[in-house]
Structure formats: C-alpha cells, structure tokens
Structure 1
Amino acid sequence: MFAIIETGGKQYRVEEGRHFNVERVDAEAGAEFVLEKVLLVNNGGNVTVGAPYVESAKVTCEVLEHGRGEKVVIFKKRRRKDSAVKRGHRQEFTTLKVKAISA
C-alpha cells in the first residue's frame, strides 16, 4: 500500500514504515503528525485518485528529527564592475516515518 501526498509545495510517494524528508513542519520530535493532503492511494491494485484530494484519507507519521541540509553557495559576479556577492543557504527539513495510511 502506498500513497502520494502533498506537503511544502512538493509531492512525495510514501509507504508504511519508510522515512522521508519534508520541508520543516511545526511539530516536536517524537510527536505524531497527520498529513491530510492525500492525492492518490493504492491499496493492493485498488487505486483511488483525488480531485484534488482523496476525501477521508490521511497519512499518520511520527516526527523523527529536524535538521538542515547541505550548504548551497550562491555567487554572483558582474564582470568589469568590481562587484561580487557570495551568499549561502541551508534548507531546514523534518524527517518523518510513516506509521499508517488510511483511506
């Protein structure tokens, strides 16, 4: 059984027992987090597609940890202008573990 969910403006394919990283969510580590924006549910070949979301479907997850990704360096240089800007960014994420998918 798997589902396709939407969170943080991105879509993820999730299965029970799997870990995955999403954009940071406001929940403490160890807490339970429910994702209700379910786009598709496949239950052993029985596929349910939402328009846009599947009603009464939800994915229950456990928040494992919060973290920050690798640094991305943004460097802009304007030739012959003696101008350069160097910036860095580390995206924050939350690691979730899928406990149950209900449709």
Structure 2
Amino acid sequence: MYAVVATGGKQYKVTKGDVLRIEKIAGDVGDSVTFDKILMLSDGDAVSLGQPVLENASVQARIVEQARSKKILVFKYKRRKRYRLKKGHRQSYTAVQIDDIAAGA
C-alpha cells in the first residue's frame, strides 16, 4: 500500500515505514503529524485518485529529526566590475517516519 502526499509544495510517494526529509514543519522530535492532502492512494489492487485530494484519507507520521541540511555556497560575480558576493545557505528540514496510511470509507 502506498500514497502520494502533498506537503511543503512538493509531492512524495510514501509507504509504511519510510523516512522522508520534508520542508520544515512545527513540532518536536517524537510528535505525531497527520497529512490530509492525499492525492493518490493504492492498496495493491485498487487505485484511488483525488479530485484534487481524497476525502477521508490520511497518513500518520512521527517526527524523528529537526535539522538543517549541508551548506551550499551562493556565489555572484560580475566580470570587469569588481563585484563578488559569496554567501552560504542551510535549508531547514524535518525528517518524518510514516506510521500508518488510512484509506477511510
């Protein structure tokens, strides 16, 4: 069984037991999270598509980590103008583990 979940402006295909790195959401490690924007649900035989989301379907998850990813460098440069700008950026993320996929009725 798997589902397609929308969160943080992105879509993720999830199954039970998966660990995902998603855009940062509020909460502490160990807190429970419910995703309600389920776009697609498959239980092996039947596939349900949302128009745009499925009603009465949800995915239960648990926060396992709140952290920041590796630093990336942003370097801007204009030739012949003595302009250089070097910045670093670290994106915050939340790692969640999928506990249950509920199809509803």
TM-score, normalised relative to structure 2: 0.96
Provide structure 2 residue ranges, at least 5 long, that are not aligned to the other structure: none
Provide structure 1 residue ranges, at least 5 long, that are not aligned to the other structure: none
Secondary structure at the aligned position of 1:60 is classed as strand
Write the letter of the residue equivalent to 1:65.
Answer: E
Alignment of structure 1 residues 1-103 onto 2, 5 Å: 1-103=1-103
Write the letter of the residue equivalent to 1:92.
Answer: S
What whole-Å deviation, never above 9, does each CA across 1:21-72 have from its counterpart, x for those lacking one? 1000001110100000000000112100001101110000000011111111
- RMSD of the TM alignment (CA)? 0.6
Q: How many residues align?
A: 103
Counterparts of 1:25 and 1:55 in 2: how far apart (Å)?
A: 23
Counterparts of 1:94 and 1:45 in 2: how far apart (Å)?
A: 32
Identity over the aligned pairs, expressed in percent? 36
Counterparts of 1:2 and 1:27 in 2: how far apart (Å)?
A: 25
Secondary structure at the aligned position of 2:28 is classed as coil
Deviation at 1:19, TM superposition (A): 0.6
Counterparts of 2:78 and 2:45 in 1: how far apart (Å)?
A: 56
Write the letter of the residue equivalent to 1:85.
Answer: L
Give structure 1 regions of 4+ aligned residues with deviation exceeding 3 angstroms: none
Counterparts of 2:31 and 2:74 in 1: how far apart (Å)?
A: 35
